[in-house]
Amino acid sequence: MVDSTRLGGASRVARSDPWRVARRDLSARCPRLADLVRLAGPIPREIPDPRPVTHLAVRTVVAQLVSTAAARTIVGRLLEAHGSFEEVVAWARATPDDAPPSLGLSRAKRRAIAAWGDFVADHGDPRERWSGLDAEALLEEIMALRGFGRWSAEMLAIFAFGHPDIWPEGDAGVVRVMRRLYPRRKPPSIRARVAGQSTYAALCCWTVIDRGREGEL
């Protein structure tokens, strides 16, 4: 984490390039990771995402087991119907569990959004309270919520909390890229290779896919 009290050029560079240390560290570990970092280039998203954590929680639930395009469509329908993410959560909480799916959202996902809303109503926004947790403790807190499995917890831990050491090894995009990089290595070995900079490695995987550069690995 950058010490904001420091002055001078080094501090300004660190603030403008939050992944500088991670990029240098991963690149030095092995040539294949260096290739991944090079092909990814600058990470296009701000991490942690500054939007309210409830907005990110809803997006994460919607994105479970569907394509990015499908998730975007469903989120658009929900916002068109209800006006805001807060109103989407209010609608989910007010809807009976056995009500039929609507707007492309399954019952299970609507229940998960409702569970998030219930949690926030009872405990408040968890961003500050959970921000100091280690990776597994943070994932456990999120997975304790109804409808939030491992993948959902990992996405929220990365994008809402900016935890630096989350490795979503079951994510389809991460699996695809890592199979190209390390076709003979097993998941525990790959996890060990990126340990400490796991979040940045995952972001590089997704960025390489988004930029259509998988074939260059």
The residue assigned the tokens 């988004």 is 210
Domain 9-46+166-216 has CATH 1.20.120: no
Which class would CATH give 53-159? mainly alpha
Which residues, given as ranges, of the chain have pLDDT below 70? 1-16
d(CA 190, CA 179): 10
In 3D space, the residue among 56, 36, 59 whose CA is nearest the CA of residue 46 turns out to be 56
Each domain of the chain, given as residue ranges in start order, spans: 9-46+166-216, 53-159
User: Both tokens of residue 114?
Assistant: 């409702």
Angle between the N-to-C axes of helices 85-94 and 53-63, in degrees from 0 to 180, rounded to the nearest 10: 60
What is the residue type of 74? Answer: I
DSSP state of 145: S
Tens digit of pLDDT for each residue in 1-53? 333 323 333 333 345 678 999 999 999 999 999 999 999 999 999 999 999 99
pTM of the model: 0.88
Give pLDDT, residue 158. Answer: 98
How many C-beta atoms lie closer than 10 Å to residue 58's C-beta? Answer: 25
Give pLDDT, residue 18. Answer: 85
